[in-house]
Amino acid sequence: MTSNIGYTPAEKGILIVLSGPSGVGKGTVCKALRSKAPELVYSVSATTRPPREGEVDGVNYFFKSREQFLQLVDQDQMLEWAEYVGNFYGTPRKFVEETLQSGKDIILEIEVQGALKVKQKFPEGVFIFLLPPSLPELESRIVGRGTESEESIRNRMSVALEEIRLMEHYDYAIVNDQVDLACERILGILTAEHCRKDRMVSKIKHWMAEVNH
Ligand SMILES: Nc1nc2c(ncn2[C@@H]2O[C@H](COP(=O)(O)OP(=O)(O)O)[C@@H](O)[C@H]2O)c(=O)[nH]1
Ligand SMILES: Nc1ncnc2c1ncn2[C@@H]1O[C@H](COP(=O)(O)OP(=O)(O)O)[C@@H](O)[C@H]1O
């Protein structure tokens, strides 16, 4: 199977984790990536946060009550989950596992605590941290989005500093100065990751087995 971003995938897809502080532009960059790389699959998270205007259940998030969310956790249906600024967020496990198994790459846009849990389970994943050009620019993006109360903006800014400190656990860091450039950088990383020799080992083994037959 050859994808139209120019590489031949190894057997399993690549799990990509994209994190970064609130307001850095994760959602905006993912939206732009969807049109630039339609072959990438996007994980839809579950959350107890109320929907923002325009958000659609099952598209932006699966919106759940706290009881429903904790039930999913109890049933081991979450690959990871975390509490962020008073709400629960989690990645449905089955969809991620099935997508990877089918050879497709999947992006999880999640915060740092959850990302570190995913890293324990999928050390071969690709972990990308999105940075703002500066902290004042970060604050003005959160304010400019117009979705948060003053308290929520303050909370998100203090969590942002904690998150940036944990960037050392990631493989790559990208500055979101321009959305198109950020997308290009992510796709460049993905192309390079597909060329890692370790991802090709099983394929090569298969060739050797055929020759030796
Ligand atoms: N651990 C975890 N974090 C998530 C998940 N889905 C979203 N998040 C993160 O939760 C944080 C808050 O998301 P959201 O309420 O949409 O606010 P925003 O970042 O300000 O747009 C962001 O850092 C998201 O990346 C998930 O499934 N698991
Ligand atoms: N490269 C960029 N330059 C300027 N504004 C941006 C850029 N990327 C995103 N934004 C704006 O910043 C705000 C926050 O972006 P959003 O994608 O909601 O962030 P996140 O998902 O990380 O919380 C939005 O108003 C968005 O239009």
Give pLDDT tens digits for 54-80: 999 999 999 999 999 999 999 999 999
Q: Which domain holds residue 208?
A: 15-43+105-212
Q: Which of 115, 121, 107 is nearest to 89 (CA)?
A: 115
Q: Residue 95: inside a domain, yes or no?
A: no
On whether residue 89 sits in a domain, the answer given is no
Q: 25 CB under 6 A from ligand 2?
A: yes
pLDDT at 199: 81
Q: Is residue 50 part of a domain?
A: no
Q: What is the 3-state secondary structure (H, E, C) of 131-175?
A: ECCCHHHHHHHHHHHCCCCHHHHHHHHHHHHHHHHHHHHCCEEEE
pLDDT score at 123 = 94
CB 24 less than 6 A from any atom of ligand 2:
yes
pLDDT at 26: 96
- Write down the pLDDT at residue 203: 73
Residue 117 resides in a domain: yes
CA of residue 89 to ligand 1 center, whole Å: 6
φ, ψ of residue 46 to 5 degrees: the values are -100, 145
Which ligand 2 atom lies nearest to the CA of residue 21?
22
How much is the pTM? 0.92
pLDDT for the residue 10: 45
Instruction: Specify if 165 maps to a domain.
Output: yes
Q: What's the number of domains the chain is made of? A: 1
How many whole angstroms separate alpha carbon 171 and alpha carbon 169? 7
Q: Is residue 96 part of a domain?
A: no
Q: Which residues of the chain have pLDDT under 50?
A: 1-10
Q: What is the CATH number of the domain that holds 22?
A: 3.40.50.300
Q: Is residue 76 part of a domain?
A: no
Query: Is 54 a member of any domain?
Result: no
Complex ipTM:
0.97
